A and B are shown apart, each in its own frame.
Chain A
């Protein structure tokens, strides 16, 4: 009886493992099939000219550096603005709060492309002429900063009220409690969101092609239009963005699990 139960449990576990493995296999096959269908479409519908691709690809790939530079600088600017904005949105000072709320409302309420064009085309009208790269960083940073302000605010508010009360009951001032107790806890909630926004920013930085910044999309369009082969060059650009996204999503997952593991390790080590 006892032996039978054990054998049954083992058989069930084995069956479950087999099913899970089969599911994984089907999932990967699905991906492989879709990928080859995409590749087949590209190869069959276009006459693939290896020498053109060999010429165009390095030219487009070079845009990665500008894409990464713009995205990184913009996410740093956005994070700074979001931190200030979130404090403003949580301030008991009505004027400060109004300022932060106005910033969020305005920059979330207008199209990003329009904001970018204002930096590039409209500001020169009042005598402010900026290098396209600063236009892109300014526009992306301020726009993302507005969205991230709300994320930061929510992260800070997600720290339970009891934490504030415990800090207050120990005699901490509001600013000490924020620095020592609230901010570190909010940080863990906010970090994954910053990663998400960075991956989104990688792709939105393509808008900078409209202000003649020589990033991936600008290069793909430029070299493609010259020889009337934009379909080829846009597919190359898409593959570059897709690869970047997959890489940075993996990096982000690694950071997130490291953060979580850090908590566990610290706890276990003690």
Chain B
């Protein structure tokens, strides 16, 4: 999957879980500060993303995923390693 494909699929998940407009889920956006995704919703996003992309995102990594770009990059790396 391309970076844009991962971003778009992640945007769908963020929309489903937190109601954020998918077009707003851009690489430079902060989940907490820009998109208003709270910590519990973030866990839901991560679990959905794990299933969607076939990767594992350990709980201790979630705090490092501050922006959409961080999450997309993590998923790209984890997919490549898989």
Q: Do A and B come from one complex?
A: no
Binding site for A on B (CB under 8 A): none
Binding site for B on A (CB under 8 A): none
